[in-house]
Structure 1
Amino acid sequence: MLATSATAGTHAAAPATDPALLLNVVVLVPAYNEESSIGATLDGLMLQTRPADRIVVIPNGCTDGTAREARKYPVTVMELPRLEHRKSEALNTAWSEFADNADVVICLDADTVLPPNAIEAWAKEFSTEEGALLGGSSSKFTMQDPGFLSRLQKAEFATWTDVALRRGSTSVLAGTGCAINNGVLRQIAARDDRVGPWVYTSQVEDFELTYRIRELGYVCQVSPEVRAYTDSMKTIKALWGQRMKWQVGTVEDLLQLGINRLTLRDWGQQLMGLLSVFLKLLWMAVIIASLVLGVFQFVLFWWLVPILFVALDIKRALRIPHYDWKDIVLAASFFPQEVFMWLRSGWIMASWWAVLATKITRRRVDRWEAQYTAEEIN
């Protein structure tokens, strides 16, 4: 067993009666050009109250100093060339060589920092009696960037986290930071449609993997104890590229998986999204038509709708981790959140159109490459 931090002695000296300490925990950190952030990610792993038994950093196709920075730490660095199947192939390659015999596998993006309690909390979740049915546990990820666009994303993810915690389940174990029962990963890797736990036909490998875990009868949850701090998209172009990858990939997977008890909620979210697009367009059409025909009349009652939205946004803002007065003002301003909603409607509509175009032309856009390009340009 490879000790991966200066605090490994604390791990070894701890009482062996604690079931969480008997688990073998391996952390996989795929990385693509993360020279500026990999240090903070590994610093976070070095400070864990319960250190990992092995940390594997997987720089794949990097053109910067990601691997060089990672080698400054007591971790395993598995440097790979640019892979055809990107993150999924990097994870499968490292998993098959270093993590196959682990009890718990933690997947962590190279721009994400875990607080010191993370590995210990995850290990305890899997070592309880209920943990026998736990397939995976996602972190409550958030951003701390003070930028305007980042605050909107932070509010969005805070709402997602609250909903998932109330439900007690999630349909996506976010690869940003999550822990997975490795016995379940071995079962999934044995399927005929893949060469490891992560499939190559999906552009949202996290969603597909979570579905397969749930299909085996295991629970996937958002951890009530583990938070992760990650980067946000800094520009509209980068955000659009990210969300088109997520949305197109999800729609493609749902069309392949069909409608069943495991996908029903996700189909409902897609239908609600499309309905929202339709209602927004209908509202615009009615307003424009009434203005053109000269029959437009302002009704004072209409103010109640935006006031209600503002009240809900402020309530949600008060649930944002580490919120400050700027988050509250942003929520109370109405228009920033409304613009973000229009953006969301935009990528929902564009993604369905893109999927339809792919079905007709048989030409599939590499959404990973599109996202990388959008981030690099900006």
Structure 2
Amino acid sequence: MALHVARKDPRAHWFLLLLGLVVMISALSFNGYVAVEGGGSGRTGPDPTPATDDLTRSGPVLRLDGPAPVSRSMPAGTIALTFDDGPDPRWTPEILDVLRRHHAHATFFVVGARVNEHPELVRRILAEGHELGSHTFTHADVATLPGWRRDLELGLTRTAIAGATGRYATLFRPPFSSGPSSLTADDATALRGAARTGHVAVLADRDTVDWRRPGVDAIVAAAAGIPVIPTGPGTPATASDGPASPDRGSGAVVLMHDGGGDRSQTVAALDRLLSALTGRGYRFATVSEGLGMPRSELAASRSDRLRGHALRYAQTGAAWLASAMTWLLGAALLLGLLRLAVQVACAEIHRRRQRVGSPALPRRQILAPVTVIVPAYNEAANIGATVLSLLASEYPALHVIVVDDGSTDGTADIVARMRLPGVRVIRQANAGKPAALNTGIRHARTELLVLVDGDTVFQPDTVYRLVQRFADPSVGAISGNTKVANRRGLLGRWQHLEYVIGFNLDRRTYDVLRCMPTIPGAIGAFRRQALLDAGGVPADTLAEDTDLTMAVLRAGWHVPYEGRAVAWTEAPASLRQLWRQRYRWCYGTMQAMWKHRRALAERGPGGRLGRRAWPYLAIFQVLLPLTAPAVDAFAIYGLFFLPWSHLVLAWLGLLALQAATAAYALRLDGERLGPLWSLPLQQVLYRQVMYLVVVQSVVTALLGSRLRWQRMIRTGGAAALVENTATGPLHWPSNPRAYR
């Protein structure tokens, strides 16, 4: 049925959505590279083959950019204290404070990613006369990395330091390294690769292994070159009886840590070491100072500084995005669980109210005349079955009006040729479904009206069960239970689950909360007065059923749900048709929500609509689906950077919860559990179609486009439920609920 003349649908937003997802996945991947891939507490198994003798017997400072290695060692009486794995917001300032008190300088080998996190600490290191060196970007073991990854680690660290300080660091210490004697062939290859990018390697003469927290005494002894007596597991090592000063005046490069864990022992050991040795003629200097060389940091160009700033902003943004996505997933999960709890609680309340003899049900029988209005536009595939099913109703006073809205497939002729008593056919030029409904309402002569789509089949007791709720004079309209007729294929099963789990559980909730926002076009009953109070069927939105229901509520009427009044309707049989139908539904629902937004401040039934149903629709039908693409992007990120066991357990847990909910809803609706096998595929494939529909609808609304009525092509799915629909009496299967 034509409603609006549409401009061409916007297309650029799909490119922007795809681009946004690519950017998001890239940012999350960068955060995963920084936060997940980097670090570690030990080597991952480099080649144990030792390096050549000219390296393993060299000094701790190595230049490997020439044909032969060149090494240097600290002169006598000079100790170069070096600190790895920082900067750390807690321990680095404490170490700097200790060094300042003792007027000592040191060299800090910083991790590039942590430089981006704490650039102020790196600037303080330089401002207080200390020296900077590179310790890779993510604390990766360069001996195990391919060349491109090693160069990336060094390049990113150099860029990070340039952005934070305006200078380059040329000194380099590989993570997990110690002294020259421990170098392997793979280590040597990595150091030569670093030398080709302008780096000078700095190893250590004395490794304090302070990361193991062996005790303050053991750290001091190792830094001073005093032999250490190993002890049992869990007991700090102790220094043996020996000289109280390091190797009788020899110089050394000492390896310690200012990051990567609890460094309280390191801080205490540093203070004791400086106090003990400064007065004995020992000098504590940076590596370059100790060797009598100029400062190792070089001035960075303006473009390099800008790249450093960009890298820091990218890392900060990626970390913020990952944190925001974690909070979003947590909020969505919490809202989903809360929604499920409310749905189940309300469904149980609704089920108890539906029991025979329940005080919530009317005690007097309603048998007043009812007019069923069937708007039809090109419904030849199902119209015969629809009309026959209505006439087969177990209701004594039933009239049927079929309003043909300019059909071109002979819909009206099919009904006219049937010559059925109590059925009236009205023809009009095509004006849209709302106009057809209003035409039928004007021609009806009863106070109770049932509005039915032309692709819907009623069970014999449907009309009777539907109108019994009118025994309550506050009831202005009643929603029935719509079921999918054509559910043989996978798409049909998915829609069947959606109707039973989503729509019908929600309607039970709305009924209990007295805020029903939608009576489906396939089956709904109305008092004439309620329709008049609402101004008739509105034609200014695409979801005329939602718009009308909201108007009835705001007019002061109550709208319940009668789950035992069943109508079988034909669902879209192709993805294209499904898209067109849901696009119209979603866009029309948003139109109706905007149109009735003033209900948020009203009282009575309208206020319940505004403060209960309106937020529910906004959250679960608009906002959360809009975040679904981001959730999928986060899931792709998780496949590469999060533990698979956690992801699998989380997904299986959610799937089990959804399956339990689906089983409960199917049982509540009198359905078999067979379609549950398709639930995992529904969550993987069908869900994407639904959230993309919401994206398209929101973009259309924001751009101010007017969406035309998008009619679904009928295939006779509802008519297939019954036999002899055109020439003979209606015949139902023995159990229509069991139809598959």
TM-score bucket (shorter structure): 0.7 to 0.9
Contact between 2:435 and 2:539, CA under 8 Å: does it hold in 1? yes
Alignment of 1:39-50 (within 5 A): 39-50=384-395
Structure 1 counterpart of 2:696, one-letter code: A
Following superposition, the deviation at residue 219 of structure 1 comes to 1.0
Contact between 1:45 and 1:116, CA under 8 Å: does it hold in 2? yes
How many angstroms apart in 1 are the aligned matches of 2:447 and 2:468? Answer: 12
Contact between 1:155 and 1:316, CA under 8 Å: does it hold in 2? no
Corresponding residue of 2:547 = 208
How many angstroms apart in 1 are the aligned matches of 2:655 and 2:398? Answer: 47
Contact between 1:317 and 1:327, CA under 8 Å: does it hold in 2? no
Following superposition, the deviation at residue 311 of structure 1 comes to 1.8
Q: Check if 1:172 corresponds to 2:515.
A: no
How many angstroms apart in 2 are the aligned matches of 1:355 and 1:283? Answer: 23
- Which has the larger Rg? 2
Alignment of 1:73-84 (within 5 A): 73-74=420-421, 75-83=423-431
Following superposition, the deviation at residue 313 of structure 1 comes to 3.2
- Specify every segment of 5 or more residues in structure 2 that has no aligned partner in the other structure, as ranges: 1-363, 601-606, 716-740
How many angstroms apart in 2 are the aligned matches of 1:353 and 1:154? Answer: 28
- Specify every segment of 5 or more residues in structure 1 that has no aligned partner in the other structure, as ranges: 1-17, 190-196
In the superposition, relative to structure 1, how do residues 223 and 315 fare at CA in structure 2: closer, same or farther (>3 Å)?
Answer: same
Alignment of 1:256-335 (within 5 A): 256-258=595-597, 260=600, 261=607, 262-264=609-611, 265-277=613-625, 279-286=627-634, 296-318=641-663, 319-320=665-666, 321=669, 323-324=671-672, 326-331=674-679, 334-335=680-681
Q: Calculate percent identity across the aligned residue pairs.
A: 23
Following superposition, the deviation at residue 173 of structure 1 comes to 1.0
Alignment partner of 1:134 out of 453, 458, 475: 475
Alignment partner of 1:155 out of 479, 497, 508: 497
In the superposition, relative to structure 1, how do residues 92 and 35 fare at CA in structure 2: closer, same or farther (>3 Å)?
Answer: same
Identify the structure with bigger relative contact order (alpha carbons < 8 Å, sequence gap 6+): 1
Contact between 1:27 and 1:52, CA under 8 Å: does it hold in 2? no
Corresponding residue of 1:184 = 530
Q: Check if 1:92 corresponds to 2:425.
A: no
Contact between 2:570 and 2:714, CA under 8 Å: does it hold in 1? no
- Secondary structure at the counterpart of residue 378 of structure 2: coil
Following superposition, the deviation at residue 211 of structure 1 comes to 0.9
| Structure 1 stretch displaced more, 242-251 or 262-271 | 262-271
Structure 1 counterpart of 2:525, one-letter code: A
State the Cα deviation string for residues 9-44 of structure 1 (Å, max 9, x = none).
Answer: xxxxxxxxx7522x2211100011111211111121
- Secondary structure at the counterpart of residue 64 of structure 1: coil
State the Cα deviation string for residues 221-249 of structure 1 (Å, max 9, x = none).
Answer: 22132011110111111111111111111
Following superposition, the deviation at residue 253 of structure 1 comes to 2.1
Contact between 1:171 and 1:211, CA under 8 Å: does it hold in 2? yes
How many angstroms apart in 2 are the aligned matches of 1:184 and 1:352? Answer: 31
State the Cα deviation string for residues 292-346 of structure 1 (Å, max 9, x = none).
Answer: xxx7243312222221232233224433356446402112xx1323321221111
Corresponding residue of 2:561 = 222
How many angstroms apart in 2 are the aligned matches of 1:106 and 1:290? Answer: 51
User: Could you state the TM-score of these two structures normalised by the residue count of structure 2?
Assistant: 0.43
How many angstroms apart in 1 are the aligned matches of 2:509 and 2:636? Answer: 40
In the superposition, relative to structure 1, how do residues 282 and 224 fare at CA in structure 2: closer, same or farther (>3 Å)?
Answer: closer
Contact between 1:317 and 1:323, CA under 8 Å: does it hold in 2? no
Structure 2 counterpart of 1:163, one-letter code: D
- Secondary structure at the counterpart of residue 171 of structure 1: coil
Q: Check if 1:344 corresponds to 2:344.
A: no
- Secondary structure at the counterpart of residue 125 of structure 1: helix
- Secondary structure at the counterpart of residue 161 of structure 1: helix
Structure 1 counterpart of 2:480, one-letter code: S
Q: Check if 1:31 corresponds to 2:376.
A: yes
Following superposition, the deviation at residue 123 of structure 1 comes to 2.9
Segments of 4+ in structure 1 off by > 6 A?
A: none
Contact between 1:31 and 1:59, CA under 8 Å: does it hold in 2? yes
Structure 2 counterpart of 1:328, one-letter code: L
Following superposition, the deviation at residue 57 of structure 1 comes to 0.5
Q: Check if 1:124 corresponds to 2:468.
A: yes
Alignment partner of 2:448 out of 94, 99, 104: 104
How many angstroms apart in 1 are the aligned matches of 2:672 and 2:633? Answer: 38
- Secondary structure at the counterpart of residue 460 of structure 2: coil
Corresponding residue of 2:327 = none
State the Cα deviation string for residues 126-168 of structure 1 (Å, max 9, x = none).
Answer: 1x2xx20111111111113212111111111112212322442
Structure 1 counterpart of 2:460, one-letter code: P
How many angstroms apart in 1 are the aligned matches of 2:540 and 2:564? Answer: 33
User: Could you state the TM-score of these two structures normalised by the residue count of structure 1?
Assistant: 0.81
Corresponding residue of 1:4 = none
Corresponding residue of 1:247 = 586
Structure 2 counterpart of 1:276, one-letter code: L
State the Cα deviation string for residues 174-223 of structure 1 (Å, max 9, x = none).
Answer: 1111111112112233xxxxxxx111211111111111111122111221
Following superposition, the deviation at residue 287 of structure 1 comes to 5.3
Contact between 2:449 and 2:528, CA under 8 Å: does it hold in 1? yes
| Structure 1 stretch displaced more, 299-308 or 349-358 | 299-308
Q: How well do the aligned residues superpose, as a CA RMSD in angstroms? A: 2.3
Alignment partner of 2:699 out of 353, 361, 372: 353
